[in-house]
Amino acid sequence: MKWWQTAVFYQIYPRSFADGNGDGIGDFPGMIQKLDYLQALGIDAVWLSPHFPSPMFDCGYDISDYTGVAPEYGTLDDFQHFLDEAHSRGMYVILDLVLNHTSDQHPWFIESRSNRTNPKRDWYIWKDGKNGGPPNDWCSCFDGAAWEYDEETSQYYYHYFFKQQPDLNWRNPAVKQAMFDAARFWLRMGVDGFRLDAIGTIFERPDLRNHNTGFNLASLRDLERRSTTPEERRQFVRQWIRTFHHQFGQPGLHELMKELRSVLNEFPGDRMLVGEDADVAYLGNGHDELNMVFNFPLMDAVPLTPASVRKNQKNRLALLAPVNGWPCNTLGNHDAGHFIARFNPTEAPALARLHTAVLLTLRGTPFIYNGDEIGMTHLTISNVSDFRDLLGSWVYNEDIQQLHMTHDQALAHAAETTRDKGRTPMQWANTSNGGFCPPSASPWLPVNPNYAQGINVADQDPDPSSLLNFHRRLLTLRRQVPALIEGEFTALLPRSRYLLAYLRKNASQTVLVVLNFSDVPRIFAWKSTGPSKYNNLHTLYSASGISNSKSAIRLAPFDIFIGELQ
């Protein structure tokens, strides 16, 4: 197997992870100090969200220099030091590669917008307006119309995300060359691969056809806010897709991904690519495009139920099988935030363990979002001036101006929409600022005050019953039990509402996982039709002294059982 199939990844959001110089912003010296923590946790690989110079309109996803390090995070030498220290602990490091757009402060765009004949003009998507307005009715998914008028040259430029993130013109070979060279720069330094940002939106329909849906982004976001039932959510997603249809998934991407793959293949050591798209379209055949794509449908289904996990695995594994794709599971990230925030607080500790057990025992490479291992939750931002993610302030302003909501309504909607809520600083200790930065510093986003209620590393470290130690135990188990890494997945109990049960089986081992998703005791009984060795079960992990008789396993509320059939 390849290293990225056996590894457990950990996503670091650099601004919020560890502040080494005490200025309230995470940085490389801080990350270096925490590598031992990650190693002891059982992490094999790190994905760094963007660490490049950025004016921070999209918290780092608006890059103004692809081969540099944001000064607030350190220097290129600090980066190299971090990489070497990670490698010396046997850990891999992948970076975020943002191909779709640059920052509007990137020298390429500054040149491009300077005049219509500048050689970099065609590096971005510039068009004339139509009938006194933008070239078409396309929306940005972040801030209204997709076209921004530029007074200087009297044309519009296209941006799928914020207007501070102009889309590159990937049909221009010079753009491809420059971006591939940026990727080579980091590969040469020794990084082990990339998480690809927003590849689906790299190309747009060249004839710029209107969508004519009658929706704009404000009305779409409002529809999202009002869609609460599963059916309403489905309708909302369909409407969202119709509103952006011509702006993603266009022809040309397969070829581009194959070219990017060959750039990685210029370097030794199985450098890898993981995409954020929720489909398998760009896995190519035989891994000649991406290596993995995140299983977003699993993340979106949290809180999980036995039925939703079975359905997800059935669909996902069937999608991956034809291209021999390897699954990649996650429950949270810097966009979706912390999965534990989606639980009712009284059940959260138990559900956090169940969900973590699912993540770490399903077939596929798990990605853990920083802070999820200690149960971090979301902060409700209560002050408009505290928003750092422009999405929050944009929603607030549109709700007031276009939808005439009250301040309280608009703030509540913005606080729910902003991704800041799940990006607050890592909670290292029960000391001021959660131990993230000194008392004298102000953290770049407020620290969630629940660090004082046990949601911090220092308090959980010595406590055997903590979520942190639960992670450590399961991660150790994963390393010791090859079937949990390479084994095939077979769902059992296809109709159970309360028990999620499955086998993980490789050539030499069969492991049974049973999870009780209900708040009452349940019995997992052997089926006469099941594998004949069921009653020869060696317990590998049992959350609360589950009794395992010859004919049944008794599970307490929210219990977890992992055993090996012998």
Binding site for ligand NOJ (CB under 6 A): 58, 61, 98, 161, 197-198, 334-335
Q: 23, 122, 276, 461: which one is catalytic? A: 276
How far is the C-alpha of 8 from the C-alpha of 19, rounded, in Å?
Answer: 24
CA distance 122 to 175: 9
User: What is d(CA 348, CA 419) in angstroms, rounded to the nearest whole number?
Assistant: 21
* Residue closest to 30 by CA, chosen among 16, 15, 20: 20
Task: Calculate helix-pair angle for 407-417, 217-226, nearest 10 degrees.
Answer: 90
Residue 61 or 156 with smaller CB distance to ligand NOJ: 61
Smallest distance, ligand NOJ to C-beta of residue 97, A: 11
Report the residue closest to ligand NOJ, judged by CB. 61
Q: With respect to ligand NOJ, which residue has the nearer C-beta, 61 or 343?
A: 61
In the complex with ligand NOJ, the residue whose CB is nearer, 98 or 175, is: 98
- Answer for the pair 193, 94: CB distance below 8 angstroms, yes or no: yes
Integer Cα distance of 348 and 339 in angstroms? 10
Nearer to ligand NOJ, 59 or 492 (CB): 59
- The torsion of the CA quartet 387, 391, 396, 397, rounded to 10 degrees, works out to 110
286: left (phi over 0), alpha (psi -120 to 50) or beta: left
Q: Single out the catalytic residue among 197, 222, 399, 459.
A: 197
Pick between residue 147 and residue 502 the one whose CB is nearest to ligand NOJ: 147
- Report, in Å, the least distance between residue 402 CB and ligand NOJ: 22
Report which secondary-structure segment, H or E, holds 538: strand 537-542
| SS3 per residue for 3-14 | HHHHCCEEEECH
Q: Which is nearer to ligand NOJ, 316 or 334 (CB)?
A: 334
Which residue carries 């990937």 as its tokens? Answer: 170
- Nearest distance from residue 168's CB to ligand NOJ, in Å? 12
| Distance in Å, CB of 369 to ligand NOJ, minimum | 12
| CB 376 to ligand NOJ: min, Å | 18
Q: Specify whether 276 is catalytic.
A: yes
Whether 36 is catalytic is no
Least distance from C-beta 524 to ligand NOJ, angstroms?
39
Do residues 108 and 120 lie in contact, with contact meaning Cβ atoms separated by under 8 Å? yes
Residue 449's CB is within 10 A of a number of other CB atoms, namely: 11
Peptide bond into 464 cis (omega under 30): no
Q: Which two tokens stand for residue 460?
A: 């959980």
Q: Which of the residues are catalytic?
A: 197, 276
